[in-house]
Amino acid sequence: MPPLLLELRGSPSDRRLAPAPPRASPTAPKSHPLLADARRNLRSPRATTTTTIPMEAKPHTARALVGRLRGAAAACDGAAATAAVADIRLASKDDPDIRAPLADAGAVPLLAAQLSGAAGVDAAAALLNISISAREQVASSPGILDALTAALRTGAAHHAAATVHSLLCSEPHRAAVGARRPLLAALVALLRDSPSTRATKDALKALFGVALYPPNRATLVSLGAVQALFALVLADGRGGIVEDATAVVAQVAGCAESLEAFRWVSGVRILLDLVEPGGAATPRARENAAAALLNLVVAGGERAVAEVIAVGGAEETVRELAEDSAASPRGKAKAEALLRALEGAAVRRREHRLADFLNGLVQSDPYISSPAQRLT
C-alpha cells in the first residue's frame, strides 16, 4: 500500500493565536538543529509527517518514539502506551525510511506485547509497516509468531494476517510459519468467520504463502482448509475473493492428502464447473481452477485422474479451455497439460481392458496363448 501523506491543517488566524514559544535561558546549552526538529515532530506527531525529518536524524527520532513506548509500558500507563503506539504507527506509515531504525531501536517486541491490548490494531498495523522494510528483524523477534497468532483472533486480525503474509514473502520463513499449527488454524478460521472482506483477503494471501512450501499443504488439509476454501468459492460472489480462494486451492491440491478432502466437498466437479466457459466470474479464477485440477492429478496419480474422468464431460470441458483463443497463455497451458494427462489415462484404460479381455480368452480356451505372458 503506498504511504499516505498527512495534510498540514490550521488557518493563519489559528497560528496567530498560538502562544509564543518560551525563550531559551541564556545559560542553557543550545540544541543541535536536527535534534530540535525531531523533538518538535514528536511533540505534535499529527501536525507534520516524519518525511520532513532529515535522514541523519531518523535513528534518533526512532529511538525517541520507541523510548516513549518503553517508558509507558514500564510504568503500566495504558493511555501513554496507546498514544505511543499510535505515533509509531503513523511514523512507520508515512516514512518508509524510519521503519528499519524503529526495528533497530527495539520496537518489534514492544509492539508485539501491545497486540492483545487496547492498542492492538495500531500495534499490528505498525508491525505490518515495519515488516515491509525490515522483514528479517520482525521475523527474528522472539515470540512474534505467537503474538501474531493471538492477534488473528482479535479486531486486529486483518493487520496480523497481512503481517504474516509479509513475512512469508521471504522463502526461508515459510517452513517456520508452517510449523506453527495454531497460527495456520487461526488463518483457516478467518475464512470461516471473518470480520471483514479485508481480513478474508489478507488471510487468503497468507495461506497462499504458506502453501507455496509443499510440506505445509498436508497440514492445511488436516486443518480443514479445503472445506473452508470451497465454501468461499461457492458462497462468495466477490470476484477478487474467488480468485484468491482458487489460487490457494491450486496450491493445496498439490499434495496427495488433498484428494480425499476434495471428494468430501465435490471439489473436482466444482473446479470443472469453473473451467467451463462462463463458469467463473473472472478469467483468473478459471485459470486457477484448471491449475488446481492439474496439480491434483500430478500429486494424486491415477486415482486423481479417475476422479476427474468420472465427472461427465470432463475431457470436453478441459479441451474447450485449451482451444479457447480468448484464454490467457497460462490458462491454455494448464488446460493442455491436464488434457494430456486425461487422454493418457484413457489410453491406458483401453489397453488394460484389452489385456483383460485377452486374458479372459486364454482362461476360457487353453489353446490360445496370452500376449501378456512371457515365452520361455
Question: pLDDT by residue (tens digit) across 331-366?
Answer: 999 999 999 988 876 556 654 554 454 455 455 555
Please give the pLDDT value at position 343.
Answer: 86
CA trace torsion 350, 351, 353, 357 (10° rounding): 140
Cβ-contact 82, 122 below 8 angstroms? yes
Cβ-contact 327, 283 below 8 angstroms? yes
- Mean pLDDT rounded to a whole number for the chain: 83
DSSP character string of 2-30: PPPPPPP---HHHHHHSPPPPPPPTTSPP
Please give the pLDDT value at position 6.
Answer: 34
Q: Is the pTM of this model over 0.85?
A: no
* Low-confidence residues in the chain, pLDDT < 70: 1-54, 236-239, 345-376
Cβ-contact 50, 64 below 8 angstroms? no
Q: Exposure pattern of 348-375 as b/e (b: 16+ CB <10 Å)?
A: eeeeeeeeeebeeeeeeeeeeeeeeeee
Nearest-angstrom CA–CA distance, 137 and 107: 10
Nearest-angstrom CA–CA distance, 33 and 31: 6
Please give the pLDDT value at position 141.
Answer: 94
Cβ-contact 213, 175 below 8 angstroms? yes
Please give the pLDDT value at position 363.
Answer: 58
3-state class (DSSP) for residue 376? coil
Cβ-contact 252, 296 below 8 angstroms? no
- Cα 72-77-83 angle, rounded to 5 deg: 65
Nearest-angstrom CA–CA distance, 274 and 289: 6
Measured CA distances, 166 to 77, 213, 311 (Å): 31, 15, 39
Cell of 75: 510504568
Type of residue at 39: R
